[in-house]
Structure 1
Amino acid sequence: MRTARDKQVVIGADFAGFPLKEYVRLHLIGKGWEVTDLTPIKEEAPMYQRVGFALGSRIAEGEFEKALAFCGTGMGIHVAASKCPHVHAAVAESVRAARRSATANSCNLLAMGGFWIAPRLGMAMADAFLEGSLGDGYEGWEGFEEYHEIGYRECEDFDYEAYRANGFSVVNPREAVLGPEPEGLAF
């Protein structure tokens, strides 16, 4: 698997997200990343959902650990990528949200909207997402990692039919207790 730790990422965009993708791609290459671009030519970029499927499949097949997706709002490409197994996609419009998607929710695909995100913000968001892993930065919050690991596992292993058969409740839920929120914790 090509991992973020090894500075490898897959990216893609539709026509609306293409300009932002290019800024972020060049930024990452300049920082030593190996960037696999599924949409190198704007005029040949597929519709947003097809780019989302293509990116999601690279995660589902275990080829890449993380992906960056770009469309007009980030919403459509995120929905499409989420249709692929093992994809935990996030849409973010801030550096804090991009980082938290990786550190608290263990997301493996970040979608950004080219209509809303300026180039420098997109670069900073990509850095925050790619450099963050589950639990990073929350070492002082007792129970934080376990709480979010349970959330990740329940999403990863979710079986709708079993959920439905169990009266729309999670089957065999686990619980974690969060300790008091650390003083001065800023998200």
Structure 2
Amino acid sequence: MKTTKDKQVVVGADFAGFPLKEYVKRHLVDNGWEVTDLTPDPDTTPMYHRVGFLIGSKIAEGEFEKALAFCGTGMGIHVAASKVPHVHAAVAESVKAAKRAAAANGCNVLAMGGFWIAPRLGQAMADAFLQSNLGDGYEDWDGFYDYHKLGFDETENFDYEAYKANGFEVVEPGTVEMGPEPTRLAF
């Protein structure tokens, strides 16, 4: 698997997200990342949902640990990528949200909207997302990692039919106690 620890990431965009993807890709390459671009030609980029499926497949098949996806709003490509097994996708419009997607929710795909995100903001969001992992920055918050890991695991293993058969409640839900939020956390 190509990992963020080894500075490897996969990216893709539709026509609307293509310019932002190019700015972010250039920034990453300039900072030592190996970027696999699934949509290198703006004239042949697939529709947003097809790019989302393609990006998601790289996660589902275990080829990449994390991916960056770009469309006009980030929403459509995010929805499509989320349909692929093992994808935990987030849409973000701020650096803090991008970091939190990885640190609190264990997301492995970050979607950005080229209509809303300026180039430098997109670069900073990519850095925050790619440099963060589940629990990072919350080491002093008792139970934070365990609480969010439980959420990740229950989402990863979600079986809708079992959920439905159980009266729309999680089957054998886990429990985790979180301590009080440290006062110095900014998010």
Q: TM-score, normalised by structure 1?
A: 0.99
Deviations 1:32-83 (A, max 9, x none): 0000000001011000000000000000000000000000000000000011
Letter in 2 for 1:137: G
Name the counterpart of 1:13: 13
Offset, 1:11: 0.1
Q: Which amino acid aligns with 1:172?
A: E
2:165 matches 1:170? no
- Larger deviation, residues 47-56 vs 177-186: 177-186
Count of matched residue positions in the alignment of Structure 1 and Structure 2: 187
Any residues of structure 2 matched to 1:1-187 within 5 Å, and which? Answer: 1-187=1-187
Distance 1:63 1:162 in 2: 29
* Partner secondary structure for residue 44 of structure 1: coil
For normalisation by structure 2, the TM-score amounts to 0.99
Paired with 1:3 and 1:133, the residues of 2 have a C-alpha distance of 12
Structure 2 stretches lacking a partner, 5+ long: none
Counterpart code for 2:92? A
Amino acid at match of 1:40: P
After the TM superposition, which parts of structure 1 deviate over 2 Å for at least 4 consecutive aligned residues? none
Quote how far apart the aligned CAs of 1:185 are: 1.0
Separation of aligned partners in 1, 2:6 and 2:134: 17
Pairwise CA RMSD of aligned residues?
Answer: 0.4
d(CA) in 2 for partners of 1:51, 1:71 = 9
